[in-house]
Amino acid sequence: MAHKIAVIGATNQTGREVLTVIDERNIPVEKLYAVDINSQFGQEVSYGEDGIITVEKLESFDFSKVDVVINASGSAKAQDIAEKSKSAGARLIDISSAYRMDPDTPLIVPDVNGSSIKNETIIASPNCMVTGITAALKPLHDIAGLNRIHAVTYQSVSGVGKDAMDELFNQTRAVFVADPIEPNLFPKQIAFNVIPQIGKFMDDRQTSEEFAIKAETKKILGTKIKVTATAVRVPVFVGHSAALHLDFDKEISALDALEALRQTRGITVIDLENEELEYITPQEVQGEDDVYVSRIREDSGSENGLCLWVSLDNIHRGLAVNAVQILELL
């Protein structure tokens, strides 16, 4: 079925990536609209190899022209977008955090729980780190039953946006020419540093990002699973990674995990190359559709434990591909 689609936030990093993925995956499109909150008159975005779309303003956009809306603009206008989509009879795929923990809204990673989509008006796409974690852990959970997840995440600056990438670049240059550094978007210097804070601190001392990783993972994989997280911002432009330490209800070996993951769509396992153990880094996953898993090993400190390393392109795979895969299910 060919859809009439509006991508809201089409001029930002995530919105542009959504347009790219719609083209790359050959989504049947009857009509595609690029919409943004602060678009300037005549502003255009590219689509495909040669296509150009004129950006329309959100405040004047007629939602009755579409049957699917993809919100890549963030949470600020999410409720307004949801109300206008519903009134027009369009289904909303919301990439923002606004509806992720709404009990009436499914939180979807298609290869994990896509079958749970019914006839909901709003479908939420999760935190980009959660997309990678849940995609990697679902096949292991199916065979051995996850009991506990401890995640330490290493998240790139692109998770904050283009201005954050510029800040990392400018700070890196400042270090080499001995210029003073004044942090702006980050609480401390990000160049040549790591910052163990993503989001705001909460009353229980965890950050809002750590809470999101915990809550969204449980909503997708199962509320009985115990989840803890430490989220760290690292001086990488694109690509999120996580070191996962896992406890299972049943015995599971590293070889069991390797076999299950190799048979899972959307997962690429990096393990033995020419009889040498190999692994993946965030630099190598940029622009890739898959979630990459490496460093799979048994945890000697746990009876039924495994450790592994997950990497993905946070904007491309974590947000854009996930949203478009949801679109493919509608």
Q: What pLDDT is recorded for position 41?
A: 65
Contact 285, 311 (CB under 8 A): yes
230-239, pLDDT tens digit by residue?
999 999 999 9
> If you write DSSP's letter for every residue of 297-310 in order, what string do you get?
EE-TTSTTEEEEEE
Whole-number pLDDT of residue 274: 65
Q: What share of the chain is helix, strand, coil (3-state, %, to 5)?
A: 35, 25, 40
Nearest Cα to Cα of residue 12 among 20, 4, 3: 20
Q: Which of 54, 64, 47, 99 is nearest to 78 (CA)?
A: 99
> Which CATH topology does 3-126+320-329 take?
Rossmann fold (3.40.50)
Enumerate the CATH 3.30.360.10 domain ranges in the chain, comma separated: 130-314
One of 3.30.565.10, 3.40.50.12280, 3.30.360.10, 3.30.470.20 is the CATH number of 130-314, namely: 3.30.360.10
Of 274, 275, 276, 267, the closest CA to residue 308 belongs to: 267
Residue type, position 297, single letter: R
Active-site positions read: 128, 240
**Structure tokens belonging to residue 142:** 């199916």
d(CA 295, CA 180): 39
pLDDT at position 49, please? 83
- Which tokens go with 215? 């809550």
**Start-end ranges of CATH 3.40.50.720 in the chain?**
3-126+320-329
Of 122, 125, 92, 91, which Cα lies nearest the Cα of 107?
A: 125
DSSP class per residue in 146-190: EEEEEEEEEE-GGGT-HHHHHHHHHHHHHHHTT-----SSSSS--
* CA distance linking residue 39 with residue 16, whole number of Å: 14
pLDDT the model gives residue 74: 86
Cα 30 to Cα 130: distance, rounded to the nearest angstrom? 32
Please check whether residue 198 is in contact with residue 234, taking contact to mean a CB–CB distance below 8 angstroms. Answer: no
Q: Looking at residue 275, what is its pLDDT?
A: 74
The total number of residues written for the chain in this structure: 330
pLDDT profile of the chain (330 residues), mean per 10:
95 96 96 88 85 93 97 93 97 98 98 95 98 99 98 98 97 96 97 98 98 98 97 99 98 97 97 84 98 97 96 98 98
